[in-house]
Amino acid sequence: MSAFDDLAKLGPQDIWDRVSVRAIHGERITLGVVELEPDAHVPEHRHENEQLGIVLSGLMTFRVEDETRELGPGGTWCIPANVPHEATAGPDGAVVLDVFAPTRADWSQFEPQAPRAPRWP
């Protein structure tokens, strides 16, 4: 197995309604390029994984515990394990990069779709 791949060759997985991820899993970390359709909502949830992220394109309204921010390209977040959070994409949708430790083993339940051109880059 090669250490290299191309984002366009990764089949996206639908993880919420109108939200998909192209995930790369290491032994202890997951990198996810998350594509959100316009006004898509990620409902409040929490997980054992620590999460770091950055908006690559579009706008997001992000809530982590009691703090809410509107973020554009370059906006970042740091979410400790088991902290409630939710997000909503802006009117043009968004693409974000998320990093999780440990890996998002729960994403294995979502069937990958056929590869297609990503919304980013």
Within-domain flag for 81: yes
Q: What are phi and psi of 107, to 5 degrees?
A: -70, -15
Within-domain flag for 13: no
Within-domain flag for 76: yes
How far apart CA 1 and CA 62 sit, in angstroms, is 36
Query: Which residues lie below 8 Å from residue 24, measured CB to CB, with a gap of 6+?
Result: 5, 10, 30, 31, 32
The per-residue pLDDT for 56 is: 98
Within-domain flag for 4: no
Within-domain flag for 74: yes
Within-domain flag for 63: yes
CATH of the domain at 49: 2.60.120.10
Question: What is the number of structural domains in the chain?
Answer: 1
Reported pTM: 0.95
Domain that holds residue 54: 21-105
The per-residue pLDDT for 1 is: 75
Within-domain flag for 35: yes
Within-domain flag for 110: no
Distances (CA, A) of 79 to 1, 52, 61, 72, 76: 32, 6, 15, 18, 10
- How confident is the chain (121 residues) per 10-residue block, as mean pLDDT? 92 97 97 98 98 98 98 98 98 98 95 93 89
The per-residue pLDDT for 93 is: 98
